[in-house]
A and B are shown apart, each in its own frame.
Chain A
């Protein structure tokens, strides 16, 4: 919201030494966030009023003329100009070198330089209004120069000063006033400044003659006002005015509206907007020719209205409308209707100032996709008293501007409002404790009074009456009062002070600790880089991978784009995309990610404490990838990494036979049919490991690389009980190491050989794989066996006997031959 410092100063006398910068800083520190502040005329520097004295033909161009312009200096300036409406004696805007102008009203502002135009020196530029950002105030046809003659300025006068644009605009972040309906108008902010600087707040000038009427009073000329929905509209005021002539507003009003970002329309509409900006109460004016009486009701099914933005809108029965007793003439609190708007033919109007319930306006505005200055204010919950203040303020202003106006004798009103004031009981100790500060009772009372609260002291208690403009939801309890005191007192004055704490048993969040440990290992000795990917899966990915068939896939109801159509069920696609992106810059690398995946089945979190319902499952997964050149075999490194870090979890690998998938169908597609394993913890399958299939690798655009990936369900893994290690004393007797190489069929898996050997004799303590190589039709497997006894040193004979046993058994089981 844009705020005029000049209008604020109308209600408070700020100390003379206070700069706009300081006002902005104070408001930010105590009340609302000021995003920016700037002088209105800042873009009009080096632009002055000029008087055209003489016009000459340009010797080299038909469409250009040379104007001799009085700029208040001894010699007139010679300026080349193409404006068609130039005449001698005309007052206009002249940009001098250094000024910022927008050529032909288009593009960015550029700095004007002295220039030769078609061979003739030009000492400046005579401007059209859209070249200096004044098009809304001086509308003109194309190629027409801004004509200021009627305004009677002095040649040479800086244009900003001449136009009364010496204001400073403060830009307030709307988000910081969502809870403060009273700050959506200048007067509310002036009240804050009065409290902050501890100075007097002047009252609004309102029309004293216009008294409140009664809806049943038939003697009053003007419409009947009837509210059918008091919940949605607790109060509606109407005031009739005759002998109206809609025309341009006076310059000060146009200046003000333009400066705070509104387009001047005509005097009547401008006054309603001005009053809204001043008081925070939105108003509306109807052409009374079209409106006999006013009824506020819900729209009938199928009813339509053309709103002021010229759009025809179909209304549903939840929408509150203002009607002329037959058809809707405005959408309550949002926008007026096209038909009853003020035009140059209007001579009689009805002014509206009403109170509409916040949530209703908000919903209507959402349904219609229409956010207006009015709806933004109503949805904050306005003070019902404000409607009357605004009506009388508007009446005052219109009478000042249109002297011949005939104002209806009374304001017509219908209302059903809760009477009575809101009080809150608090005490000095509470506020002191909340702030952590020894603030005195006197100071607390003083601050609250400055903000409009009334206080009664009752022993230690303070009975605080909340002013009506703060009582619509903003100030509800003593917490809110503590904020009022603290912010005006100044947060910066509260000294940091550590709390005195009561100790409590430490809660061990085991999952985090283990995840940290896993990360330490993967980023440490495994030399992998951690990545984080989005939790979303694009629609295209789901279609291409055929994941749509997965029963546990979760979709979004309102994705921003198709990139976020679903939630991920696996971390692998994200990692494969990372690989494609990075392989342009790196030959070999290793990545991993730990993050949640989302599965549409019962998870472990409840939806509410006492509910029987659970949220969908969202376990942490760990996925990793080893990327190497295409002639390498990264599978072994990936497997080595999983083996190494999982030692403490006692994971095991199981073969992954065709058609049996540990997780999801689409993973079959992702992994090479041969080079793959299931990762298990006990009997539970919790993950898998394998080479990414060629299909997948090329789908993600990974070129000339071979990729091995693994993924496992960490949450499932961490849920398993782990036993702490028990000490074993170091062996007393030496071990004997012997290598054996056997020739076996290709289909003989090492895994089975190892198992078989381990069964032979307890003296066999360890079997270490050494190598596998190609013998053509068969393969050779070499391994090392460690023999050791806890009771004696083994003899050569014993070891040889065991070795022979091994060879024999491998021969029987697998047809192995020793090499």
Chain B
């Protein structure tokens, strides 16, 4: 019984010590428990003499141990708070090579870090950062960016379709297939939204999460992140795109990276490009990773298709623009040598804490 009281008070002291942040608080605490007149522990120890005779030596011993232990804890706390040892005496030498006090640190997801780097660069170039919905209408995700209903990208296997009761009520239909919403398959869904909201001239990027309905493996994910870039103004050219792209790549990956653009087909651009990066593994010489070509695919891009400009209320006879989109995961994988894309959504601290 008495023993339990002792243990309880020890537990209390320890809990309170942990909350102690200043020397002042510590001394208050010291007073509370050890004060000669009213200290709680002092009082408790005093009560030992009222115990039965056979109990006294045992409890006395335990009480002493606890008292000693608690006093040590106080000393430690005092050392922590003052940064100095209590018992200063001549033999003692201050060892500055002992590691500093450990700080607990948190961390940003690696994708947040890279995303911020890109945002920083683009803000510097005068681009604005725009957000948009992940659950999107077919119009903004597809039609508005010149992907008509018969295009292969609309196949059921590529797109997650959504069953929304709210949406059907709004559209006054009960049929699931009448009115479909999608999880956006690319950040290009924000192209027309941005043109509608901000008009031209427009320079923006859209970072965000996108979805593809496909099986996952080390190289493929159903959920990943993209950064879309869009610039619309008078007389925007392929040469302009090359200049902007160069800045992005070199700032993020380093000045040694080379880029090349080659024809590629995306319905929302004309001409469309595939942008390749020089393979980091073999320094552009050709290896297994780059299939001996010396290049790895990095991003899709092109000059904004007139139909997309029209959908955004922009006159394609007066304005032109470029657009690009790349995967953040891929960029991180290239820069940090990450070999499995599924790690990004694993929540595994052994992975996340490395960055």
Please give, as numbers and ranges, the residues of chain B lying within 8 Å of A602 by CB-CB distance: 166
A532-B109 in contact (CB<8A): yes
Please give, as numbers and ranges, the residues of chain A lying within 8 Å of B86 by CB-CB distance: none
Stretch at the interface among A70-78, A498-506, A791-799: A498-506
Task: Closest B residue to A477 by CB, please name it.
Answer: B306
Stretch at the interface among A26-34, A273-281, A644-652: A26-34
Which residues in chain B, 224-281, are within 8 Å of chain A measured between CB atoms? 231, 233, 235-240, 242-246, 260-265, 270-274
B139-A608 in contact (CB<8A): yes
Any A CB within 8 A of the CB of B130: yes
Please give, as numbers and ranges, the residues of chain A lying within 8 Å of B261 by CB-CB distance: 491-492
The 8 Å CB contact of A530, one of B108, B213, B239, B346, is B108
Any A CB within 8 A of the CB of B8: yes
B271-A483 in contact (CB<8A): yes
Q: What does the 1/0 interface line of A553-596 toward B look like (CB < 8 Å)?
A: 01111111000100100000011011001100110011100011
Any B CB within 8 A of the CB of A440: no
Task: Closest A residue to B159 by CB, please name it.
Answer: A558
The 8 Å CB contact of A480, one of B126, B270, B349, is B270
Which residues in chain A, 481-528, are within 8 Å of chain B measured between CB atoms? 482-483, 486-487, 491-492, 494-499, 501-504, 506-507, 509, 511-512, 516, 519, 522-524, 526-528
A557-B349 in contact (CB<8A): no
B109-A771 in contact (CB<8A): no
Any B CB within 8 A of the CB of A35: yes
**CA A175 – CA B155 in complex, angstroms?**
14
Please give, as numbers and ranges, the residues of chain B lying within 8 Å of A607 by CB-CB distance: 137, 139-140
Q: Which secondary structure characterizes the binding site on chain A?
A: mixed
Any A CB within 8 A of the CB of B223: yes
Please give, as numbers and ranges, the residues of chain B lying within 8 Å of A363 by CB-CB distance: 150
Task: Closest A residue to B271 by CB, please name it.
Answer: A483
Task: Name the distance in Å between B347's Cβ and chain A's nearest Cβ.
Answer: 3
The 8 Å CB contact of B198, one of A362, A486, A507, is A507
**CA A177 – CA B264 in complex, angstroms?**
9
Which residues in chain B, 189-241, are within 8 Å of chain A measured between CB atoms? 196, 198, 201, 203, 209, 211, 213-215, 222-223, 231, 233, 235-240
User: Given A556-B163, A559-B160, A528–B106 Cβ distance below 8 Å?
Assistant: yes
Any B CB within 8 A of the CB of A613: yes
B16-A771 in contact (CB<8A): yes
Any A CB within 8 A of the CB of B352: yes
How many B residues are at the interface, by size bracket? 35 or more
Any A CB within 8 A of the CB of B131: yes
The 8 Å CB contact of A560, one of B140, B214, B346, is B214
B170-A613 in contact (CB<8A): yes
Q: What does the 1/0 interface line of A369-393 toward B look like (CB < 8 Å)?
A: 0000000000000000000000000
Any B CB within 8 A of the CB of A396: no
Please give, as numbers and ranges, the residues of chain A lying within 8 Å of B274 by CB-CB distance: 33, 176
Please give, as numbers and ranges, the residues of chain A lying within 8 Å of B352 by CB-CB distance: 529-531
User: Given A36-B291, A509-B129, A609-B196, A524–B106 Cβ distance below 8 Å?
Assistant: yes
Which residues in chain A, 517-554, are within 8 Å of chain B measured between CB atoms? 519, 522-524, 526-536, 554
Please give, as numbers and ranges, the residues of chain B lying within 8 Å of A512 by CB-CB distance: 129, 131
Task: Closest A residue to B149 by CB, please name it.
Answer: A359
Stretch at the interface among A348-356, A430-438, A442-450: A430-438
Any B CB within 8 A of the CB of A138: no
What are 21 A-B interface contacts by the 8 Å CB criterion?
A25-B293, A29-B260, A437-B238, A496-B242, A498-B240, A498-B243, A499-B243, A501-B203, A523-B108, A530-B107, A530-B109, A535-B211, A556-B162, A557-B161, A557-B162, A560-B213, A585-B350, A589-B349, A605-B132, A607-B137, A616-B164
Seen from chain A, the residues whose Cβ lies within 8 Å of a Cβ on chain B are 25, 28-33, 35-36, 175-180, 358-359, 362-363, 366, 433-437, 477, 479-480, 482-483, 486-487, 491-492, 494-499, 501-504, 506-507, 509, 511-512, 516, 519, 522-524, 526-536, 554-560, 564, 567, 574-575, 577-578, 581-582, 585-586, 589-591, 595-596, 598, 600-603, 605, 607-609, 613-616, 618, 739, 770-771, 773-774
Seen from chain B, the residues whose Cβ lies within 8 Å of a Cβ on chain A are 8, 12, 16, 19, 25, 28, 104-109, 111-112, 116, 126, 128-137, 139-140, 150, 152, 155-156, 160-167, 170-171, 176, 180-181, 183, 196, 198, 201, 203, 209, 211, 213-215, 222-223, 231, 233, 235-240, 242-246, 260-265, 270-274, 291, 293, 303, 305-306, 320, 344-350, 352-353
